[in-house]
Structure 1
């Protein structure tokens, strides 16, 4: 099969046409013919070898990237009961949790340290066929395109989990710092939850994007104008919770100051350097700091249902062109698998907004 491979850490992807098609090895695995694979910041971390120490001995290089998978089921294991051959599906990256560690026994299976993660520790979706775990696979409603579904499997599932962790009630306020792939989805989910939404970014392109959405935020804030200006704009003492969807270290100080006293600060960004949290934010302002991993299957399925119900849209998709929707919008720009170099160049452009995805197969 054709696909992309990491053959050496910190080196460009290799496009190959002779990769062996993977085989199902356990009763609960399924084989997916990939339609669309997502690309995000984590891909760069994987490419740089930042997760290499967590790879199992039977994985290693070469490694197929992309942890956001969508496609059609072409084969199922003997123990699979939830999906059938021919189903349109999307797959979260986690697979083969052990069921024996403390987290698995407590029902916290997404934290299983013995699990594989497609596109991170094990082969991912930037290829024609990928093995996934039925327990982390979601049937796709016909109203959701593969282009829209792929970003939901990490970007969407991560920001949705962050909103759950923040545990806000309708009418409360949330700030989303970093309005990229996660942020533009989180703003819409938050509005559908009845929250007052503040979106903050240092670039104008993503702020313009979220302002154009049907479920647009209540405020779009240019971070370069400073936190005092932001507090004046939104009024009051700040927001009830802040979701950090960026790895930019200066943004963390900004987000802490934007969060009102006794509020909640949720970390999803993965910066290289330690996150600075001054003691006064914890002691004198009584902020609660939490981390948030990707959604579990139940929450991710709930998120997909919301997109299906709120995202009634017309479709206009061509290669390397934006997709426009009339409900909840997953703004994507689509590239052929072979055009990965141009995708990565566009990812780093100042005017980049939304989500970039790879169209792997057209005949699905």
Structure 2
């Protein structure tokens, strides 16, 4: 078995360095992908820094992978060798628990993650259960497709799970790696879209990406002016804000939906929830079925992330670029192993 070449963090917060490992025999339900590119997500950086206490070192991150299937296990029938595919946050499901049998493999009780307890896509090859490996439809740009498999499905999944309607008025809090994709999805979905951003320079860009309205999230008066108008509020940020004021933007029976990894407990007044019969919900990345729906939707409407490309050999530079807040809006790493 040929060793897999990768870039790994030897310890929490350490610069990534070349690393090789023996993957062992290919599982009967697995495929091996030759990596062409991998998106660099904030979740990769959180894992490298062990912010969530889930990392095992040396850690090979990378969970927004695009590449070609080079080997398939004996029981694999859903993808074939030679297909260009994508792989995201999840890499395994049991297929026999109640969530799996209901089609909610992303809620599997024993689900596996691409970079938790195993090595991910900052490598020349990566493996995963074929359930979580998705052929790219025609019309999907291969070099920028990787971020769809984490950032994209994270903001598309709520549209399906919460039954967002084309007639809904929807707000998106945070116009970054997640939010800039959410604006595109929601505009194509038919919604009236409001973008909330603290960066004035992003206002015109938010409109170009799909927002009908832009609200300065630092201005309490601007937030108060739209109180009671939104049916759905999608929160993509990973910092704490004045959540009660954002709750007030929702109409009766409106939904406050979280997809950002906010580290602190949410400070919300119960009265603001139950007097208006509002809902506070959240979701992870989507099931295999929802991911396929997303890919078809992206191909149909020409939706793709705005990307900056680095060679994978400059991974540490790319991480510094992301941590400095300079990425607009997703960083993609092209594999350049000799």
Q: 1:294 to 1:224 in 2, by over 3 A?
A: same
The separation in 1 between residues aligned to 2:36 and 2:294, in whole angstroms, is 21
Unaligned runs of 5+ in 2: none
Q: Is the 8 A contact 1:179 1:207 kept in 2?
A: no
- The more displaced of 159-168 and 44-53 is 44-53
> What are the superposed Cα offsets for residues 191-248 of structure 1, whole Å, 9 maximum, x if unpaired?
11110111111123444432233xx21112221222x31453xx57321010110111
What's the counterpart of residue 315 of structure 1? none
- Report the 3-state secondary structure (helix = DSSP H, G, I; strand = E; otherwise coil) of the residue aligned with 2:205: helix
After TM superposition, give the deviation of residue 2 of structure 1 in Å: 3.5
CA deviation vs aligned residue, 1:84-141 (integer Å, no higher than 9, x gap): 1111101122122123444334443212242221123321111110002210111012
Paired with 1:28 and 1:92, the residues of 2 have a C-alpha distance of 17
Which residue does 2:148 correspond to in 1?
A: 152
Counterpart CA distance in 1 for 2:94 and 2:172 is 34
Match of 1:359 in 2: 334
Query: What residue is the counterpart of 2:206 in the other structure?
Result: 210
The answer to whether the 8 A contact 1:15-1:338 is kept is no
**Structure 2 vs 1, CA of residues 239 and 24 (structure 1 numbering), >3 Å: closer, same or farther?**
farther
What stretches of structure 1 of length at least 5 have no aligned partner? 312-327
Question: Could you give the per-residue CA deviations for residues 29-60 of structure 1, whole angstroms, max 9, x where no partner exists?
Answer: 0000111111122112212324445x7xxxx3
Take 2:161 and 2:100, find their aligned partners in 1: how far apart are those partners? 19
2:253–2:277 Cα contact (<8 Å) kept: yes
| Residues 126/110 of structure 1: CA separation in 2 closer, same or farther (3 Å cut) | same
Contact 1:196 1:218 survives alignment (8 Å): yes
CA RMSD of aligned residues (A): 2.2
Is 1:270 the counterpart of 2:261? The answer is yes
Cα gap change, 1:295 to 1:262, in 2 (>3 Å): same
Tell me how many residue pairs correspond in the alignment: 335
* TM-score (ref. length: structure 1): 0.85
Distance apart, 1:82 and its partner CA: 1.5
| 2:311 paired residue among 324, 336, 344 | 336
Runs of 4 or more, structure 1, over 6 Å off, are none
